[in-house]
Copies of this chain bind each other. A is one copy, B any other.
Amino acid sequence: MNNAITSLFNIKYPIIQGGMIWCSGWELAAAVSNAGGLGLIGTGSMRPNIAEEHIKKCAKATNKPFGVNIPLLYPHSDDIISIVLKEKVKIVFTSAGNPKKYTSLLKENGVTVVHVVANKKFALKAAEAGVDAVVAEGFEAGGHNGFEETTTMVLIPMIREIIDIPLIAAGGIASGRAMYAAMALGADGVQIGSRFAASAESSAHKHFQDEIVRADDGDTVLALKQIVPVRLIKNEFLNRVQQLEAKGATKDEFLKLLGKGRARKGMFEGDIAEGELEIGQVASMIRSVEPVATIIDDIVTEFNQISEKMKGRNL
């Protein structure tokens, strides 16, 4: 397939691996890029010197294009941008913040810029800021989500209508079937997080990966809406969050319960009871931890099967 996304990034398949905190270091990003997708280093959980190390290692581990994800509300984002420019990273995905913040600077330096959005307002803002593509992320996605709670099924055609630049769908996509559906809805490519969090090359702790595989229908909840919404696997920590919700707690009470390092504790250190376990709803469909090459191959094979099955379907 050659389309707007494969040519924008010069990759084989329009499959982007989401730049997730605590899961996507250089090893995952390089593996995805080597398998024909676009790997992203998730810098949202890295101090600048660590991010630099990951970028250098990734560049050695693949001669294919790769990128980094930078959450703009992250306190070290200025430093990460400097490192990106110094290391000549060619692709940057920004999220959780104002797309105007770095887009011009990055573009002037020849970087391809993509911004992650969850609603119409930010899709338009991103296009106005001059980004090269937009990721539209539905309510079912893991990590931080929009307050509108618009699902992938509704979000993708809605954003497709209002922007002309390439569109990447995210949220609920872990299979070739879902990828095909997302492209029928109007996306030029997909961003897949949860399935790669559960890959052999992911830096997610084994206990967290076991939880992803175990998770079934209804086992993730969009929580912490009082601070920033985030989709979490049900556990002791989430129970306590929900107890606060039930009693109408203040933002400060939520911040106090959250404390520092909750996500690291859960996702990287494997404390599945007390940690924050960010994952998409589609964890309910992930049955095993596989190497990245197997995952990509499986997605590609299923996509082509569905394409064959849907051929000539007319009403």
Query: Which A residues are closer than 8 A to B by beta carbons?
Result: 1, 13, 119-121, 138-140, 146-154, 157-158, 161, 171-173, 175-178, 180-186, 216-218, 221-222, 245-249, 281-282, 284-285, 299-300, 303-304, 306-307, 310-315
Contact = CB atoms under 8 A, between A and B. Distances in A.
Given A218-B147, A315-B13, A310 B183 contact: yes
A153 B141 CA distance: 11
A8 B154 CA distance: 28
Given A184-B310, A315-B303, A218 B150 contact: yes
Number of copies: 2
Nearest to A302: B315
Nearest to A226: B246
B303 A307 contact: no
B154 A282 contact: yes
A249 B183 CA distance: 43
Contacts of A180: 184, 310, 313
A244 to B, nearest CB: 9
A151 B148 contact: no
A165 B6 CA distance: 38
Given A154-B285, A183-B313, 16 more contacts: A139-B151, A140-B154, A147-B218, A149-B218, A150-B217, A151-B171, A153-B181, A157-B178, A180-B184, A184-B306, A184-B310, A246-B248, A247-B248, A248-B248, A300-B315, A307-B314
Contacts of A177: 157, 184-186
A120 B184 contact: no
B153 A138 contact: yes
30 contacts: A13-B315, A139-B140, A140-B151, A140-B154, A146-B218, A147-B218, A149-B222, A149-B281, A150-B217, A151-B152, A153-B153, A153-B171, A153-B172, A153-B181, A153-B282, A157-B175, A157-B177, A158-B217, A158-B284, A177-B184, A177-B185, A180-B310, A180-B313, A183-B310, A184-B184, A246-B248, A248-B248, A299-B315, A307-B313, A311-B311
